Structure 1
Amino acid sequence: MLFVRPGRLSDLDALAQMALAARPVLHSLPHDRHELEARIALSEDSFRADVDFPGEEFYLFVLEDSATGKLLGTASIVAAAGYAEPFYVFRNDALIHASRELHVNRKIHALTMSHELTGMSRLAGFYLDREAAGAGDAAAHLLSRARMMYMAANRRRFTPEVFSLLLGVTDEAGTSPFWEAVGRRFFGRDFAQIEIASGGRSRTFIAEVMPTYPLYVPLLPEQAQRVIGEPNVKALLSYDIHIEEGFEPDRFVDIFDAGPVLTAQIDRSACVRFNETRTVREAGGKAAEHARAYLVSSHRGGDFRCVLAELPDAHSPDTSLGGPVRAALDVVHGDTVRCVPLHRSAQEASEASDDGGENAYLGSLPGNPTKPTGDRR
């Protein structure tokens, strides 16, 4: 059974292998072994700390196969993005250029360097091993959304709003059309080189080198315009998972490859709105006739765990869990767990849409006639 738990220093070797295998580079997993060890130690300290408000905490999660003990993926949360240095993105502004004399009224998009996301909690560092990725979408859903389960249960540790930066469009060789049109002209270097040096978009050289004045989108090459706000094909599943959780495209895009920035109010996310707290009972008798997949998390003794399990599709104070599920969650009869449906029912989706539709801001961009259909670094 696959389950998500906090990373430990004993996971160093496996995480070091993931750091080398991840493409593009994951800033949450440094290639240098000593830096990676310090990163894991910071995560362990963050999970243990008594936190009243978000600061420099960093939370590293791993996906483990309980049958083999093998780690198949990792994902993380940054409590406050750009805590030490500003977190840079492009803000997409719509500017009106009008002339009454010429009867001209044009809305022009312009990209302006911004650090408005600085201090906001961020989902980052998502990596899934090929073995887990080949098993279907369930592992990706579990690993990605387990972070939201943790945030839902530990609200004081995070800001009211969270964001995620998805990988932008590149070709098979890793070349970014947006970088070639913008970034290369200022840095004079390859995208991969600056990606490694950027440290997760929080380096002062970004403000020193990138343009401080607005970039008018219509003046960019058409190929660069088309990819603004578009996720990489490798990020389409991640995009869909975020949307199902309640994230929406925002007016920001990545400063290097123009990948989409998705944001969500934690209190309006699926892991908060559709949460049920149930008491664990040992499984017995025949399985429930009407069952559905649930994200189930525990926090016994402060050790967070999260799994996917089939549970009765009915509001109940109790839930029966089989032995493998209880073992993965490290819970016993009488403990409490947090349960959230993996996918919304038609009624739940209708209720969510009644609260306000998805932000269609990216759909108005040049080259983006419709909203993209699919976390990075």
Structure 2
Amino acid sequence: MLFVRPSRLSDLDALEHMARTARPVLHSLPQSREALEARIALSEDSFKAEVDFPGEEFYLFVLEDSSTGKVLGAASIFASAGYSEPFYAFRNDALVHASREVRVNRKVHALTMSHELTGRSRLAGYYVDPALRWGSAAHLLSRARMMYIATNRKRFTSEIFALLLGVTDDQGESPFWDAVGRKFFNRDFAYVDEESGGRSRTFIAELMPSYPVYVPLLPASAQRVLGEPGGSALATYEILVEEGFETDRFIDIFDAGPVLTAQIDSSASAKNMGVRSVISRAANLQGDTYLLGHQDTRGEFRCVLADIDASASAPATLAFDAAVVLGVRDGDSVNCAPLHAVL
């Protein structure tokens, strides 16, 4: 059975392999073993900490196969993006150019460097084994984070965002980067993307244009990809949209990938989540597929997918293996949210 849980130091080897081989680069998983170990330790401390408001906490989740113990994916949450340094993105603006003399009044699409997303909670570092990318396991890994957020509100801001990879070609080159960023950095996209540390490095403000970039002056190849997810991000994009995320006023500062935002209270995981008591038995009943989450008194969190009766008044009848993975007994409570729900 696949389930989601917080990462631990025993995952270090698996996460190091993932960090070194995942494409695109996972900014929340450093490729340095020492730095990755420190990141996992920070996550462990964050889950255990008593938190009254979001700060520098970092939460790293893994997708595990309970039958093999193999880690098949990872996903994370920054409680406050850009906590130590601003988080940079381009803001879509409409600048008015007008002249009474020639009777012209036009709005021109422009991109302005902004750090308005700084301080908001951010979903990041999402990676799932390519064989699972379009299946229910991908939904489980992504939405388990939202269930954790919805049940631990003090740890996160009321609005959350995610930055997705933009369009690149078969060689990993970005048409938007070639039209804008390369002119200021004189470096390849892949190099700067990795060095940026998740869009919160001082050199971004030092080198990127401080004045608006007028979109009509960009080549058509760059204009076409504004706010478009790259091929490897399409599945993630669809999952987030189903969750209730929407494209916002911002795009990525390097490859023009989409920034999606959601109000936690309006997300599918929060709006459709209920609490049910548990009954375990040898096999699941036939029913609708739900995300089931449980957090014990020590703060240990687990999330699985299981078919249960859709009636909110009925107990959640679980197979023994699902109950064991969740760490629940008959009579315990679990949080339930439909896997697919209309907002």
Compute the TM-score of the two structures, normalised by the length of structure 1.
0.88
Which residue identity is paired with 1:216?
A: Y
After superposition, where does 1:100-179 map in structure 2 within 5 Å? Answer: 100-133=100-133, 136-179=134-177
Match of 2:316 among 310, 315, 319: 319
Equivalent in 226, 229, 232 of residue 231 of structure 1: 229
Q: Quote the residue 2:290 is aligned against.
A: 294
* CA distance, structure 2, for counterparts of residue 106 and residue 59 of structure 1: 46
Conservation of the 8 A alpha-carbon contact between 1:277 and 1:317: no
Question: Which residue number in structure 2 is paired with residue 357 of structure 1?
Answer: none
Partner in structure 2 of residue 83 of structure 1? 83
SS of equivalent to 1:151: helix
1:258 match: secondary structure: coil
Q: Offset of 1:146 from its aligned partner? A: 0.6
Shift of residue 39, structure 1, vs aligned partner: 0.3
The answer to whether the 8 A contact 2:95-2:107 is kept is yes
Which whole-Å deviations, capped at 9, do the CAs of 1:90-112 have from their partners, x for residues lacking one?
00001222334434332211000
Conserved 8 A contact 2:308-2:317: yes
Q: How far apart are residue 126 of structure 1 and its match?
A: 0.5
| 1:181-192 aligned within 5 A | 181-192=179-190
Q: Matched residues in 1 for 2:282 and 2:103: separation? A: 75
2:283/2:320 contact within 8 Å kept: no
Question: Does residue 1:30 correspond to 2:30, yes or no?
Answer: yes
Distance 2:319 2:131 in 1: 25
Displacement after TM superposition at 1:78 (Å): 0.3
For residues 314 and 259 of structure 2, what CA distance do their matches in structure 1 show? 37
> How large is the Cα RMSD of the aligned pairs?
1.3
Q: Give SS of 2:94's match.
A: strand
192, 195, 198: which one aligns with 1:197: 195
Whether the 8 Å contact between 2:60 and 2:77 is mirrored in structure 1 is yes
CA contact (8 A) 1:293 1:310 kept: yes
Q: 1:98 to 1:51 in 2, by over 3 A?
A: same
Kept after mapping to 1: 8 A contact 2:54/2:156: yes
Report the counterpart of residue 17 of structure 2 in structure 1.
17
One-letter code of the match for 1:175? Answer: E
- 2:164 partner letter: L
Aligned counterparts of 2:284 and 2:96: Cα–Cα separation in 1: 65
Query: Can you list the C-alpha shifts for 1:10-42, whole angstroms capped at 9, x where unaligned?
Result: 100000000011112111111110000000000
SS at match of 1:27: coil
**Residues 15 and 146 of structure 1, relative CA distance in 2, 3 Å threshold:** same
Q: State the aligned residue count.
A: 342
Partner of 1:222: 220
C-alpha distance 258-279 of structure 1, shift in aligned 2 (>3 A): same
The 5-angstrom pairing of residues 31-46 of structure 1 reads 31-46=31-46
Task: State the AA in 2 paired with 1:297.
Answer: G
- 1:360 alignment counterpart: none
Contact 1:62 1:71 in 2 (8 A): yes
Q: What is the Cα deviation at residue 206 of structure 1?
A: 0.4
The aligned residue for residue 362 of structure 1 is none
Deviation readout 1:147-182 (Å, 9 max, x if unpaired): 001000100000000000000000010000000000
Amino acid of the structure 2 residue aligned with 1:340: A
Kept in 2, the 8 Å contact 1:296–1:339? The answer is: yes
Percent identity of equivalent pairs: 65
- Secondary structure at the aligned position of 1:37 is classed as helix
Q: CA deviation at 1:6?
A: 0.1
Q: Is the 8 A contact 1:284 1:320 kept in 2?
A: no
Aligned-residue offset at 1:284: 6.7
Supply the distance in 2 between the matched residues of 1:75 and 1:274 (Cα, whole angstroms).
22
Q: Is the counterpart of residue 330 in structure 1 residue 309 in structure 2?
A: no
Question: How far apart are the structure 2 equivalents of 1:131 and 1:284?
Answer: 29
CA deviation after TM superposition for structure 1 residue 294, in Å: 0.6
Moved more, 329-338 or 123-132: 123-132
Where in structure 2 are there 5+ consecutive unaligned residues?
none
User: C-alpha distance in 1, partners of 2:257/2:282?
Assistant: 48
Task: Report the counterpart of residue 303 of structure 2 in structure 1.
Answer: 306
CA distance in 1, matches of 2:127, 2:168: 18
Describe the shift of the 1:230–1:337 C-alpha distance in structure 2 as closer, same or farther (beyond 3 A): same
Residue 311 of structure 1, CA deviation: 1.1
Contact kept? 1:113, 1:212, Cα under 8 Å? yes
Kept in 2, the 8 Å contact 1:54–1:80? The answer is yes
For residues 260-279 of structure 1, give each alpha carbon's deviation from its aligned partner in whole angstroms, at most 9, with x where no partner exists: 00000001111110011001
Q: Is the 8 A contact 1:92 1:252 kept in 2?
A: yes
Secondary structure of the residue aligned to 2:150 is helix
Tell me the equivalent position of 1:74.
74
TM-aligned CA deviation for residue 286 of structure 1? 8.5
Instruction: Choose 272-281 or 99-108, whichever is displaced more.
Output: 99-108
In 1, Cα distance between the equivalents of 2:38 and 2:32? 10
Aligned equivalents of 2:136, 2:64: Cα separation in 1:
14
